[in-house]
Amino acid sequence: MDRIESPDELRRQVRAGAFRRPTTGHAPGFLQGNLAILPQAFAADFLAFCAKNPKPCPLLGVSEPGDPRLPALAEDLDIRTDVPGYRVFRNGGEPERVGDLRALWREDLVTFVLGCSFSFEESLARARIPVRHIAAGRNVPMYVTNLETHRAGPFGGPMVVSMRAFAPADAIRAVVLSERQPLAHGAPVHFGDPAAIGIRDLADPEFGDPPVMAPGDVPVFWACGVTPQVAIRGARPDLAITHEPGHMLVTDRPAEGAGIGL
């Protein structure tokens, strides 16, 4: 499939129902975001949770209650139709998959958009640092750790991390490059021994695909956007909506220098 260069062209296709797949690799150079939609009764606590846990939950934008727009992220954005796949959770139960939110929308819903790792992975690619899972056509492996998030009201629980494996010299460059992107989870939280952060088996991640590692590789662990999803399920709101994994909101905000204008 061809790469779609422009974020508004991509949102137009999503809105028309013509794009229902992962957004990775599309609209390069623009921030993509994780989605969390919650009833207003949970919004203040979730905002505090993001503020207390900026590495797993870097906040890109928050809407007014009931307003499906987020003009700071894209002028034309309608959050009910512009994400290529949604998951709807009721009372913390199993998710229902839907293609748009128009039938579900309520006047008390607040939208949160959180940074994801795609723009950081783009900067690794520009630096010619091999990213094993992308080269292998796999999803990144993700693990539940024994690192606790900072609790805010009903939101808490373990930090989830994603793992990328590198030769040590590339790992050093990946640390430097990722630290420059605090809205894409920033610098890693750990590297080396998985057991030191409570990961029992590197070969068996809780989310994503098994890892790809070359001889001499060191595993490097970043805070992951699945962390707020786990926290939201644990809080058991009557209604919560997230994106389908990999099916991100694509914004008009350039990834480069994204933290400067906040």
Q: Is 18 or 169 the residue whose CB approaches a copy of itself more closely?
A: 169
Contact 242, 35 (CB under 8 A): yes
127 binds a copy of itself (CB under 8 A): no
Rounded to 5°, angle at Cα 206 from 96 and 176: 110
224 binds a copy of itself (CB under 8 A): no
189 binds a copy of itself (CB under 8 A): yes
Candidates 135, 216, 260, 261; binder of a copy of itself (CB under 8 A) is 216
Cβ contacts of residue 185 below 8 Å, gap of 6+? 55, 56, 58, 115, 116, 117, 120, 178, 222, 223, 224, 225
Q: Is 169 or 203 the residue whose CB approaches a copy of itself more closely?
A: 169
Footprint (CB under 8 A) of a copy of itself, residues 74-103: none
CB atoms within 10 A of CB 135: 9
Estimate to the nearest angstrom the gap between the alpha carbon of 100 and the chain centroid.
Answer: 19
Q: Report the alpha-carbon distance of residue 190 to residue 164 in Å, rounded.
A: 11
192 binds a copy of itself (CB under 8 A): yes
71 binds a copy of itself (CB under 8 A): no
Stretch of residues binding a copy of itself (CB under 8 A), selected from 8-16, 37-45, 119-127, 164-172: 164-172
218 binds a copy of itself (CB under 8 A): yes
257 binds a copy of itself (CB under 8 A): no
DSSP state of 184: G
204 binds a copy of itself (CB under 8 A): no
128 binds a copy of itself (CB under 8 A): no
